[in-house]
Structure 1
Amino acid sequence: LHDRPFVRLDADAQDALLHALEGGRAMSPRWQGLDAQRFFIHHLLKTAAGFYYAHPRAWNEIGFGGPANPRGYVRLGFDSRDPWEAKEAR
């Protein structure tokens, strides 16, 4: 629609484009027969939500207590260990 990549648009143009996709109003020959609204709902939206809710910190928002691990997650920082985990051999 703008003849440039999405990331090069300003925030208002990005928002307007996403609303156009959501409403099925994004008409461009570049879509080559792909329904823009279907792409938004079935691919873009579900993928973004999947990435967001894949993180344990987001699980509380939906009331998910975590995987079927009785201990759950204690340390969420990078390269942190739970107290019961063994240290790696050097």
Structure 2
Amino acid sequence: MSYVSHYPSFDVMKEQDEWDDHTQTIVTSRLNLKISYHFLTAAETEILRLICSILVNDQRPEVLDFILSHIDQTLHQSPGESQRKANVPHAAALVRSGLQAIDQGARMTYNSSFSDLDTQRQIQYLERISESLAEPQDAWRNIPQEDLFKKLMQLTVEAYCSHPSVWSEIGYAGPAYPRGYVRTGLGQLDPWEAQPER
């Protein structure tokens, strides 16, 4: 992370005894991953790791492993999408064809694979995709660039904000069930919640 946490000594996992067994199992599994991809190929994983790292500005391997595992599981199980434009492919097809287009477009534009570009050019190319301005058009035929960017952002951020290390950094003390919150007034904190240190 490029920023400094307001809760540097807070560790959400010290609260796990207050969670029910099911919640403990889910949260601790995020720290003890058994990585096995069912949808993503090795080449897709390499590109996606770089993209996710840029989107959340975080290079920690354990966090990126969790994000990739979450994305892979989501695309493999295909739980459905609440809303999708009529001309946008379903998530699995959009991400697969999109990652291929990203690499092909980088090769045609920069004469280099996306993975071999320096970070600044990777960021610039992703910014163009977010605005549907990535070239060349041959690489992006039938792939809605902005929708691809939004889907990658959504999948990345929902996983990132589910990781216990990130919870600790933002001062989130984890699920309140079954303990519950007592102090609910503005500015009030329960004793078990993170206390700002900066």
TM-score of Structure 1 vs Structure 2, range by shorter chain: 0.5 to 0.7
Match of 1:77 in 2: none
The TM-score normalised by the length of structure 1 is 0.60
The residue number in structure 1 matching 2:145 is 36
Following TM superposition, by how much is the alpha carbon of 1:56 offset from its aligned partner in structure 2, in angstroms? 1.2
* Match of residue 126, structure 2, among 18, 27, 35: 18
Cα deviations by residue, 1:35-88 (Å, 9 ceiling, x for unpaired): 1011001x2111221231121121252x643235548xxxxxxxxxxxxxxxxx
- 1:5 and 1:54 map into 2 onto residues whose CA distance is 31
- Report the residue type matching 2:140 in the other structure: W
The answer to whether 1:45 aligns with 2:149 is: no
- Name the % identity: 28
Please give the alpha-carbon distance, in whole angstroms, between the structure 2 residues aligned to 1:32 and 1:67: 44
Which structure is richer in relative contact order (CA contacts within 8 A, separation 6 or more)? 2
Q: CA deviation at 1:19?
A: 0.8
Report the counterpart of residue 163 of structure 2 in structure 1: 55
| Structure 2 unaligned regions, length at least 5 | 1-104, 180-198
Q: CA deviation at 1:7?
A: 1.2
Q: Which has the higher helix share?
A: 2
